[in-house]
Amino acid sequence: MSELDITQDFIQVGNEKFVLYLSEAKIQERIDQLGEEISKEYKTKLPIFIGVLNGSFMFMSDLLKRINFNCEVDFFKLSSYGDEKISSGKVKMLKELNADVTDRHLIIVEDIVDSGLSISYIEEIFKDHNPASMKVVTLLSKPESIKYKVKIDYIGFEIPNKFVIGYGLDYAQKYRNLKSIYVLSE
Ligand code: IMP
Ligand code: MG
């Protein structure tokens, strides 16, 4: 089936059902606040926003529309999940960053921090390049499932340890194009 009804407040995936969890309006309202907070802190710093692909593309786009100062934008790509709902526990770099990050202020933009593995891997990589500073902004965080000690500087929403899709987040590469976020119902 290739049809997807994006007007309903649930998404049926085979015999699993995902129900509306964070509406488009709620997400956008929170990103307004995050944009304001980040703008205050980085106004004069010419930071580089670094999006972690693929999941962060929607959040990155909406967040950057709220940034009212000069900044640069780059992306790199990691993979840890394969096509499953649980992490493989391994991170692979699939596309490298182009920007030179030495002495620059970096803002890493993530869709979701789950175990913290991806962020801890990113921290290690960037530390070697001596940035002036590095902070992490994530739309979602699952505090109950954190396994690696990581510092997250801006969090959109803390959510329970449940699988979510939409707004950039996928299940086997699909459902990233939904405007809202849906949670797997049990
Ligand atoms: P971590 O490395 O365990 O923190 O996982 C981070 C990555 O796993 C995120 O950037 C997502 O791509 C993916 N991920 C974690 N939880 C979910 C989820 O509930 N739905 C979809 N993707 C997820
Ligand atoms: Mg991701």
Q: Which two tokens stand for residue 87?
A: 């992490």
Q: Is 181 in the pocket of ligand 1 (CB under 6 A)?
A: no
The pLDDT, as a whole number, for residue 61 is: 98
Instruction: Give the pLDDT confidence of 57-109 residue by residue, as tens digits.
Output: 999 999 999 999 999 999 999 876 556 666 666 787 777 777 789 999 999 99
The pLDDT, as a whole number, for residue 93 is: 75
Active site residues: 114
The CA distance from 172 to 28, in Å, is: 25
Q: Is 79 in the pocket of ligand 1 (CB under 6 A)?
A: no
pTM (2 decimals)?
0.93
Using the mean position of ligand 2's atoms as its centre, give its distance from the Cα of residue 157 in Å.
15
Which CA distances in Å does 68 have to 6, 65, 131, 138, 151? 31, 8, 22, 19, 25
Instruction: Give the pLDDT confidence of 130-178 residue by residue, as tens digits.
Output: 999 999 999 999 999 999 999 999 999 999 999 999 999 999 999 999 9
Using the mean position of ligand 1's atoms as its centre, give its distance from the Cα of residue 163 in Å.
9
Ligand 1: which of 112, 122, 158 to mutate, judged by most atoms within 8 Å of the beta carbon? 112
Q: Is 57 in the pocket of ligand 1 (CB under 6 A)?
A: no
Q: Bin 62: left if φ > 0, else alpha if -120 < ψ < 50, else beta.
A: alpha
Fold of 25-78+92-181: Rossmann fold (3.40.50)
